[in-house]
A and B are shown apart, each in its own frame.
Chain A
Amino acid sequence: MSSGKIADKTVLKNLGFCGFAINSNTSCVDVKDGRIVRIRPLHLDESYTKEELNYYYLEKDGHVFEPGFKTLIPPFSIAYKNRAYSGNRVPSPLIRVDWDPKGERNPQNRGISKYRKISWDEALEIISDEIKRIHDEYGNHSIYCQAEGHGEGKVASGAHGCPQEMLAYCGGSTIQARQPDSWDGWYWGAKHMWGMEPLGQCTFANGTFRDITQNGDAVLFWGCDPETTTWGWNGQQPSRMCFWFNEIGVKSIYVCPDVNYGAACHADKWIPVLPNTDAALQLAIAYVWLTEDTYDKEYIATHAVGFEWFEQYVLGDLDGEPKTPKWAEGKCGVPSWEIKAFARYWAKHNVSTAHSNGGGFIRGAFAHEPARLEVALHGMQGIGGPGKHQIKFIEWTMLGMLSMSPLPEPVFVPSNEAAYHGWDLAGEEPNRHIIKTLIPQAILNPPISWYGHGICTYPREDQFFKFQFPREGEERLHMIWADAPCWSTCWNGGNIYEEALRHESIEFVLVQHPWMENDTVFADIILPVKTVFECSDITTDSLAGQFPLYYVEDVAIDPVGEARSDAEIVADIAGALERFGGKYEGLRNKFMRGMTHEETIRKAFDESGIPEDFTWEDLMEKKFWAGPVNPDWENTPAGLIAFHDDPESNKLQTPSGKIEYYSSTLARFFPDDDVRGPYPKWIEETEEHKERISSERAKDYPFLLVTNHPRWRVHAQMDDVPWFREIETCKVKGPDGYMYEPIWVNPVDAEKLGLANGDIARLFNERGSVLGGVRVTERIMPGALYQDHGARIDSIVAGTGGLDRGGANNLICPNATTSKNAAGEVTNSFLVGIEKVDVKALAEQYPEQFGRAYDDVNGLLAKAYIED
C-alpha cells in the first residue's frame, strides 16, 4: 500500500519575529496544490557535513552537549500557516465609512466606525493627495511614521519602517525612535555603571556557556523566562541549554513572582519576589555581604570606583535606613532568613545571572535601579571570574556583534543591509524622531522634551542631550502612517494612545498590515499586506545559536485577497505622488534604489560578506549557505575574564573604565535627580509612579500585576492562531463561548476574592479595565496576579477609563516613563484591582460590541469591522 504525493515543492522561510533583517527559525515550507501543507525544521545535513561547520561537543562528567543539526523551530513557526489563512486577514483596501478627506473626518469615531472596500487605484489617489496636502499645509515632519518593532522578518520586500525610507527622499518625516524597550533598565541604568554598549548588558558573552558548564555552581534566572520570549527570536536552543544545566547539576534558581515557563520545567529552586521589588532583595543581599565581610574587597579596590557611596547607602549611613533583610522582607515578600541564606550561598559559590528579556525585572517603574543593583552585586563577587557571568538566552550575535554569543560563536555572520527596506535606526536629517514612550504626549500635548534619542544603538553619552518635538517653528503631527501597528497592545498606556489616535489634530491615519487587529482598526485607510509566505526575499538566520544560515526565500503561495508587499505598497504610493512633480519626481525609482526586487536580492547576496568562493550558483544549488563556528571555541576568553584579570588594560566603557558605583556623569548632568541618582537605591514611589503595595492607591487596587511577554504569542502577534487558542494555558472559555485571556490567581487570594476557575473577571485601575478568565493556580505568589501581555484588543469602550474584552493589559499600564530623565517604558508590575463580572449583563449593556463577528477558530474576524 502506498500513499500519494506529500508535497509539490519546498521553500525555505525564516519564521522568526525579531525583524530588522536579523532572523531565525529557518523552516521548510512544503507546498501542495498551491497551499501550504506543512512547516518543519530544516535538517542541515541535506547540504552540509558536520565537519564543514565545525560541529562541536561540549563535555562535562560524561555528559555531552551538541548544538544540533536540525533547526530548533518553536511552535510559532510550525503553526504559522494559520496566519496566512486567517479569517482575520485584511481582504482588500478599506476606507472608514465616516472619514471623508474632502469633508467630515470624524476622528472621534476611529476604533468605532466600520470600513468599506475600495480599489487600489482609489486608495492610492486618496493617500497621495493627503500626503501632498499635509506636506504643503504643515511641512514634511507632520507625517509620523509609526514603524513598529518586531514582526515578520522581511528584508527587501518591506520590513517595518519602509514608509519612512520613501518619505526621506522627499524631505523626511517624523519617526518613532527604536526604543531600547527590551533593555530599558539596562540601557538607562546599568550602562552608567559598567558600559556594555549599546544595550547595557551581556555585550561580552563569548565562552560563558562553556565556562558556566565547567566552573559554575548556579545560574540565577532573575525575572526572566527562557521558554517564552526566546522562541520568537532564537527558537528553542535556550531550552536545550537550560536542560543541559539541569543535566550536569548547575543549580537553576528562579527569582520572580511567577512560576514562568522556564521555572516550570527547569527550576531547582524558586524564590518568589513581589513584582518590581527586586531592588530591595538585592540591597539586602549587599547588606549581608557587607556586614559579614563576604565580598571581594580586593576586586572592588581594583575594578570599581565610588563603592563607598553604595556601602554607606546600604548600611543606612546616608538615609538612616539600613537595608537589612528584615527591611527588605517587608518590601519584597522574601523572608529575611531566606534572603540571608541566599546571600551566603551566592558568596560561597560561582554564581551567574541569566536574562531572556520579557519578564518584569527591568520593565517596571524605576527599572534602572534593579539593573544597576545587579551590576553592583556582580562587582562585589568579582564578575568575570570562573563561573561568574551575566548570560543571556536571547539576541545572540545581535547587531552583528559576535561577542554577544554565549555559545561557541560563529566565525562570521552575513549581512542583508544592502537589501533592507526598513527602519531608520540613525534618527538623522532629514528625519525627525520622537522617543516612542512619549508619542501619545507628542500628539496630545506638544511640544514635549526628553533626554537622549532613545534609540537602542546609541551610546551612554547620548542620554545627556535634550530633545524637543516639534522643533521651534515646526508644526505638530497631523498624519500617522503605520505598518504592522501594535502600539496600544505593547507600550506604556495604550488607552492614552487610543485617545491620541482619535485626536482632532490627526487628520489622516494610514495603516498597512496583513491583519485586522489592534491599532489597525483605528485607521482611516487600511491596506492589505502579504505575509512572508506570499513574498520573495533574502534572509540571514543568525540568532538561533547553531550555525549562521543565508538563503533566498521563494514565494510559497499566491497573495491572499488583494494583498501587496510593504515595499510594493510604498513604491505604489511613491508612483502616485510622482504626478505632483517637483520633489516627488522619480520618487518610485529612488525608493527602489534603481533596481528591481530581484536585483535588490542579488545585490544583498553580493554584499553579504559571504566568502567569494561561495557563489550565487552555489547558493542556488545548495539552497542555503551555512557558516561554521569558531574552530578554536574552546579557548575563547569567557565573558569579562579579561577585565577580571587585568582591568587597567581591558577597561569597561565607562568614564573611569571601571564599575562605577557612583556615576560622576549622572551626578554632573542630573544633579537634582534623586530617582536615578549617581548610585543605585530603593525608590518607594514618586509623583509619577505610585505602584507599590504601600501606595495609597493600593487600597483600591491591591494587587501587583505581572505582564510577561506571552507564551503563545509574540507580543500582540498570533492571537488568532487556532492551535494556540485551544491550549489550556492560552485562553479560558467564558460562559458566552468567548475565549478570554487567562488571569492567574493564587488559591489564597482566589478564596478571599470568591473567584473560581473559569470565572470572567475585570482587572482595573483608574486608567481602565480589561477582562480575563480566571485560572486559580500555584504558579503565581499571593499578592500578585499574572496575565500575559499582548492579547488582541476587542474594545468595548476605547480610551482612558475604557473597557477591553480581549485582555490587552498594556491599555491600563502606567503612562509615565521609567523616571523623569529616563524615558523607558513601564509596562509590568503595576497596581490593579480584580473582581468577577457577569458577561451576560455586559453583553446586554454593549450589544453591538459583544455581537462582533467571531468564531471558534480565529476569534474576532476581519468582517467584524467591514460593512456588508
Chain B
Amino acid sequence: MGKVFVFNYNRCNGCRGCQVACKDEHCDQAWPPYAEAQPIIGQFWMKVQDRERGKVPWVKVTYEHTWCNHCEKCALIEIAPDAVYRRDDGLVIIDPEKAKGIEGLVEACPFNAVYWNEGLGLAQKCTGCAHLLDNGWEVPRCVDACATEALRFMDAEEAKAIGAEPSELGKAIGSKIWYLNVPKRFVVGTLVDLAEDEVVIGAKVELLAADGTLVAELETDDFGDFKFDQVDPAVYTIRLISPNKTIEVDADCSSEDLYVGVIDASA
C-alpha cells in the first residue's frame, strides 16, 4: 500500500505546525491537477483539535488530528468513481475538474475530512501533497513541518515494526493513517490522612472491574497520588488499603477521564 502516515499521540505538543503548513501550501494556491486553491480560512485539510481531559489538579490535553485517511475502500470513489481516484502510491485525489458540483462527497467521508468550497462548487481535502511528491519531496508538508516526530510518513512495513496500527474503522476500510499510543482513560486520585494532615505514601490501591476482578494495582507515590493510566473506558471500583482502613470508591470512566479527588484515610 506504499507509505502510510503514523501519528504518535505521545509526541504531539499541539503546535499546529502541520495544520498551518497545510494551509501555507494550499490556501490561495492551486496545484493542478490535484487541487484547486483552498479558501484562506475555514477549511482544515489537516485539522488539530484540543481535547481537555480530567479536572483540577489532574488535567491534560490530547491533540486530535483529522485528515483524509486515503482509504483503500474510499466511500468517495464508490459514489463518484469518475471524479475521485486513487493513485498508485495510494493517495486519494478528488479531481478538481471532474468533481465540480458533487456535494455528496462531503457527507460520504466517515472521517469528516472533506470540505465544501462554496465559491468553486467543489469538494476539497488533503491531497497528500501529491504535487510535491511528484517533484522529489519524500514527505508531505505536514510531516516536514513536524518538529517533534509526532507525525511521520513511512513504509507500511516499518510502521508495523514500530507497533503502529490504524483505528478499528481504519482497519476495516484500509486507512493510510496509523497510530501509536492512542490514549485510553486515566483514573487518578490522592490519598490523604486529613486528620493527621499528611499524605499516605505506599498504600496499596487496586482497580477492580465491575465483576470484582483485579484490573491493575499500584502503591500511592510520594505525593499520596495513585494514577491508573491507559485503562479501558468502564465502570470500576477503586480499593484503597491504608493503614487505618480500607476504602472503596466508585470510578466510572466510561465516558471521560476521572479524577476521584482527595480520599480521606483518617482513622
Contact = CB atoms under 8 A, between A and B. Distances in A.
A726 B41 CA distance: 7
B161 interface: no
B24 A259 contact: no
A382 interface: no
Contacts of B224: 337, 341
> Which are the 10 A-B pairs with shortest beta-carbon distances?
A236-B147, A3-B131, A264-B61, A72-B147, A345-B222, A341-B199, A75-B20, A259-B59, A778-B59, A239-B13
A322 to B, nearest CB: 15
A234 B192 CA distance: 42
B109 to A, nearest CB: 21
A267 B56 CA distance: 13
Given A38-B25, A240-B147, A269-B223, A337 B17 contact: no
B58 A270 contact: yes
Interface string A551-591: 00000000000000000000000000000000000000000
Interface stretch (B47-55, B66-74, B111-119): B47-55
B198 A79 contact: no
B131 A856 contact: no
B33 interface: yes
Given A81-B24, A337-B197, 18 more contacts: A2-B134, A3-B32, A6-B132, A6-B135, A70-B144, A73-B17, A75-B17, A237-B147, A239-B148, A267-B60, A269-B225, A337-B224, A722-B40, A722-B41, A729-B50, A746-B56, A777-B52, A857-B41
A336 interface: yes
Q: Which of A78, A261, A746 neighbours the largest number of chain B CB atoms within 10 Å of its CB?
A: A78
5 contacts: A3-B32, A264-B59, A271-B57, A340-B199, A344-B222
Interface residues of B, number: 56
A4 B199 CA distance: 66
Contacts of B57: 270-272, 781
A727 interface: yes
A342 interface: yes
Contact of B59 (A2, A231, A237, A779): A779
A746 B130 CA distance: 44
A240 B146 CA distance: 11
Interface string B112-149: 00000000000000000011101100000100110110
Interface of A: 1-4, 6, 37-41, 68, 70, 72-75, 78-79, 81, 227, 231, 235-237, 239-240, 243, 246, 259, 261, 263-267, 269-272, 326, 335-338, 340-342, 344-345, 348, 722-729, 746, 777-779, 781-782, 856-857
Contacts of A259: 59-61
A341 B56 contact: no
Contacts, number: 163
Interface in B32-51: 32-34, 40-42, 49-50
B15 interface: yes
A338 B56 CA distance: 14
B188 to A, nearest CB: 10
Nearest to B222: A345
Contact of B17 (A74, A271, A335, A729): A74
A711 to B, nearest CB: 9
Interface of B: 10-17, 19-21, 23-25, 27, 29, 31-34, 40-42, 49-50, 52, 54-61, 63, 130-132, 134-135, 141, 144-145, 147-148, 192, 194, 197-199, 201, 222-225, 262
A839 to B, nearest CB: 22
Contact of B54 (A722, A746, A778): A778
Contacts of B11: 243
B194 to A, nearest CB: 8
B141 A74 contact: no
Contacts of A337: 192, 194, 197-199, 224
Given A81-B24, A236-B148, A270-B58, A341 B223 contact: yes
A239 B134 CA distance: 32
B266 to A, nearest CB: 11
A2 B136 CA distance: 11
B52 A338 contact: no
A3 B87 CA distance: 14
Given A6-B131, A272-B56, A74 B42 contact: no
Nearest to A325: B197
Q: B-side binding surface: helix, strand, loop or mixed?
A: mixed
B59 A336 contact: no
A227 B246 CA distance: 41
Given A259-B59, A341-B199, A75 B50 contact: no
B31 A75 contact: no
Nearest to A266: B13
Contacts of A39: 24
Given A227-B13, A246-B10, A723-B20, A265 B60 contact: yes
A347 B214 CA distance: 35
Contacts of B16: 75, 723-724, 727
Given A40-B145, A341-B223, A75 B15 contact: yes
Contacts of B17: 73-75, 78, 236
A40 B23 CA distance: 12
A465 B56 CA distance: 46
Contact of B34 (A3, A73, A74, A727): A3
B61 A265 contact: yes
A287 to B, nearest CB: 14
A243 B60 contact: no
A237 B149 CA distance: 12
Contacts of B12: 265
A272 B58 CA distance: 10
A81 B15 CA distance: 18
A414 B13 CA distance: 31
A9 B237 CA distance: 63
Nearest to A712: B16
A60 to B, nearest CB: 17
A81 B40 CA distance: 12
Contacts of A235: 147
A73 B32 CA distance: 28
A88 to B, nearest CB: 14
Contacts of A857: 40-41
Contact of B49 (A78, A81, A269, A728): A728
Contacts of A342: 223
Contacts of B60: 259, 264-265, 267
Contacts of B59: 259, 263-264, 270, 778-779
Given A78-B20, A259-B61, A341-B223, A723 B197 contact: no
A58 to B, nearest CB: 16
Contacts of B63: 265
Contacts of B198: 337, 340-341
A801 to B, nearest CB: 34
Contact of A40 (B141, B192, B199): B141
B264 to A, nearest CB: 11
B137 to A, nearest CB: 8
Contacts of A782: 56
B33 A40 contact: no
Q: Which of B61, B147, B192 neighbours the largest number of chain A CB atoms within 10 Å of its CB?
A: B147
A72 B198 CA distance: 45
Contact of B24 (A78, A231, A746): A78
Nearest to B43: A726
Given A38-B24, A341-B223, A240 B61 contact: no
A729 B194 CA distance: 37
A78 B21 contact: yes
A855 B125 CA distance: 25
Contacts of B31: 3-4, 6
Contacts of B24: 38-39, 78-79, 81, 723
A41 B52 contact: no
B197 A336 contact: yes
A716 B146 CA distance: 25
A235 B49 CA distance: 22
B161 to A, nearest CB: 16
A726 B147 contact: no
